[in-house]
Amino acid sequence: MNGSSVRLTVFLLAFIVAMIVLPGCDSGGSSEVTPPSGSITSLEWDPPMTFGDGTPINPVRDIDHYEFFLRTDENFTDIDLPVAQVSAVTDVLDPNGNIQSSGPTSQFTLENLLPFVEGGKRYYVAIKAVGIDGLKSGFMAPVVWDVS
């Protein structure tokens, strides 16, 4: 394995199951790995640079993770539940799998959320930053995601 690895914690059991079960349902035979093709959709954001009281924040040291929320409208509320979360720190690995450097996470592949959406529909994605003390930010301004 080479390149970067994002420490990802996603509540995507359905997705994982789908990935295991769907490709090559015929059991017992050898399988060929098809290289991925097409495009991926990324959500990118700027990590917060301050706490709510204006004091500077270190996104790597002070933020624990981000929570992802999905709705078919923009009206996110505090009773909405996150569908996924991702660590606030991204580790860049060397070819031997050792951590080369760490930096703030600022993007997420939206295809990870496919088990929670229907094709052909418009969704809105919002995220919250969660501090290492558990305190959460408000919602980021929702971003449109047209699921193909």
Partner 1 sequence: MRSHRAILLLILVMGVSFPLSTSAEQRHVTWTPVNTYENGTPIGADKNLTYQLYWSTDPGLSTGSLRTLVSSIPETSYTFDPTEAGMPRGQTIFFTAQSVLNTGEKSSLSTATAWNVPVLVPSSPSNIMTSNQAPWQVSWDAVTTYTDGTLIGTGKAILYTVYWTPDIWLEGGSLHPIGSPTSATSLSFDSELAGMTGYQTVYFTVKTVLGTGEDSSFSGAFAWDVPLDGAIASETPISPENMVVTDSSRTDNLSWEPVTRYKNGKPIESGKKVNYDIYWTTDPELSADSLTPLSSSTEATSITFDPSASGMKRNQRVYFTGKSKLSTGEESSLSPAISWRVSNSGPSAPSNGRVSRKNKK
Which residues of the chain form contacts with partner 1 (CB under 8 A)? 36-55, 57, 62-63, 66, 110, 125-131, 133, 135-145
To the nearest whole angstrom, how small is the minimum distance from the Cβ of residue 52 to partner 1?
3
Name the nearest CA neighbour of 114 among 80, 69, 147: 147
Nearer to partner 1 among residue 31 and residue 34 (C-beta): 34
To the nearest whole angstrom, how small is the minimum distance from the Cβ of residue 142 to partner 1?
8
Sheet hosting strand 63-71, strand order edge to edge: 8-9, 84-87, 63-71, 122-131, 143-146
To the nearest whole angstrom, how small is the minimum distance from the Cβ of residue 128 to partner 1?
7
Nearer to partner 1 among residue 15 and residue 139 (C-beta): 139
